[in-house]
Amino acid sequence: MSQYFETAKPEETAVIVAVYHNQQDAITMQAYLDELAFLSQTLGVRVRQSFTQRLDKPETKTFVGKGKLQEITEYVKEHEIDMVIFDDDLNPSQVRNLERAFNGSEIEEAKIKILDRSLLILDIFSKRAQTTQAHTQVELAQYQYLLPRLTRMWTHLSKQKGGIGMRGPGEKELETDRRIVKDKIALLRKKLDKIDKQSITRRKAREQTVRVALVGYTNVGKSTLMNLLSKADVFAEDKLFATVDSTVRKVVLNKIPFLLTDTVGFIRKLPTLLIESFKSTLDEIIEADILIHVVDISAPDFENQIEVVNQTLIDIGATDKPTLMVYNKIDLMPPDEQGLAEIHQEDQKIIGISATKKINIDTFTQLLYDLVVEKYYVLNPNYLS
Ligand SMILES: Nc1nc2c(ncn2[C@@H]2O[C@H](COP(=O)(O)OP(=O)(O)OP(=O)(O)O)[C@@H](O)[C@H]2O)c(=O)[nH]1
Ligand SMILES: [Mg+2]
């Protein structure tokens, strides 16, 4: 069934559409747009054009206003674009209206696909998942996303040919679809419960060990740093969400052992359903003693990314932990700003590094060691005696 959720095939073409409110500054706007394009490219889609509109909030009926919609449809028809990707979640009636706008009233033969940000993220997660647990978590989120959106406009599951945006027939089939999806959700929940029980047992066994988790926005260099520290071979790539599973490795710094977890990166507007179904993966972060918050200092909107990560940490309940802020990728900063990025404020525990060019790694490990050793003595009070 999972191919049902496949949003796009490589080489398909797309235009991206985003709405910004009036106060949004140009840099943030561009960063958001670049990110949506990057998400699309991660799936192999070629983004041909982007369209933006300033509105207080997206139009209820068609997300963008009439004039803008006209402009987009003309472009899409003229350039034979395969799909239109929207930066926010679309509700079922918006999907229906947009389907009509792009494909005319004869919807049975729709050619142009209407996608939204959550669908892209879910699809990327599903392609990146390695473990049964991650696969099950993504699938659960996908079916939950689909359930309220099952309308005549969306595919008929039992006859599905793959690809969101295919149409299904009448109401009776729709009811059947709803039942299939509900059954599937129940089944996936059960399966996850079972897997979760095993992970809880596994994590309990590690209670005496100091646990450190790498957190941060997606693509900032968490896995690269994990590989550097643990000599593990974790998949790192210049794509969004290279990692969606958790990897735990034992690391020893100056004879003090601890467990280091690399896990899924965060992103703005991460579908809530994903956060919910990834709960047990995120538990690795919630249960960690120390966080290493990795930041891509070369990202034009890095401050915004820090905000998103902090907010997500609050959302999942991973607050009040000793945190080492790591400003990574300082090698990409202009030389005169590299010094600036190398802020090494001991009290604030911020360090500028380059994980690939291995700049400042010794200072970083020293700072990390200081945090780990403190916790180590708490967990092993007899260590010194
Ligand atoms: N220039 C530069 N690139 C880096 C540095 N650290 C990591 N990268 C690159 O940034 C990209 C993302 O690195 P990853 O380690 O996969 O990032 P991640 O945070 O694990 O990303 P996700 O798993 O997708 O959330 C890769 O292409 C890395 O080679 C650095 O210090 N400098
Ligand atoms: Mg990673």
**pLDDT digit string, tens, across residues 122-159:** 988 888 888 888 889 999 999 998 888 776 544 444 44
At residue 164, does pLDDT exceed 60? no
pLDDT at 205: 73
Residue 158 contacts residue 176 (beta carbons within 8 Å): yes
Distance 222 CA to ligand 1 centre (A): 7
Q: Are 126 and 138 in contact (CB under 8 A)?
A: yes
CA 364 from chain centre, in angstroms, equals 26
Architecture field, domain 2-119: 3-Layer(aba) Sandwich (3.40)
The whole-angstrom separation of Cα 52 and Cα 65 is 11
Q: Which residue owns the Cα nearest ligand 1 atom 30?
A: 329
Burial of 157 (0-12, 13-18, 19+ CB in 10 A): buried
Distances 252 to 103, 231, 362, 377 between C-alpha atoms, Å = 59, 11, 14, 15
CA of 183 to the centre of ligand 1 (A): 39
Q: Which atom of ligand 1 is nearest to the CA of 241?
A: 24
Same fold, 2-119 and 207-378: yes
d(CA 253, CA 246): 21
Neighbours of 337 (CB within 10 A): 13
Burial class (CB in 10 A: 0-12, 13-18, 19+), 382: exposed
pTM of the predicted structure, to 2 decimals: 0.87
Q: How far is the CA of 76 from the centre of ligand 1 (A)?
A: 34
Q: Residue 266's pLDDT is what?
A: 93
User: Could you identify the atom of ligand 1 that is nearest to the CA of residue 218?
Assistant: 25
Q: Say if CB 82 and CB 12 are below 8 A apart.
A: yes
Q: Where are the domains of the chain?
A: 2-119, 207-378
In sequence order, what are the residues at sequence separation of 6 or more whose Cβ sits closer than 8 angstroms to the Cβ of residue 251? 212, 229, 230, 257, 258, 259, 260
Best residue among 214, 235, 237 to mutate for probing ligand 1, ranked by most atoms within 8 Å of CB: 237
Of 219, 235, 308, the residue with max ligand 1 atoms within 8 A of its CB, to mutate for a pocket test, comes to 219
CA atoms within 13 A of residue 176's CA, in its CB half-sphere: 12
**Alpha helix positions (H), 129-239:** 132-146, 171-204, 222-230
Tokens of 128: 């990146």
Ligand 1 atom nearest 240 alpha carbon: 24
Average pLDDT of 170-195? 86
As for ligand 1, residues whose beta carbon falls within 6 Å of it are: 216, 218-224, 236-238, 240-243, 265, 328-329, 331-332, 354-357
**Closest CA to ligand 1's atom 17:** 221
Any idea which fold 207-378 has?
Rossmann fold (3.40.50)
Residue 346's pLDDT band (boundaries 50, 70, 90)?
A: low
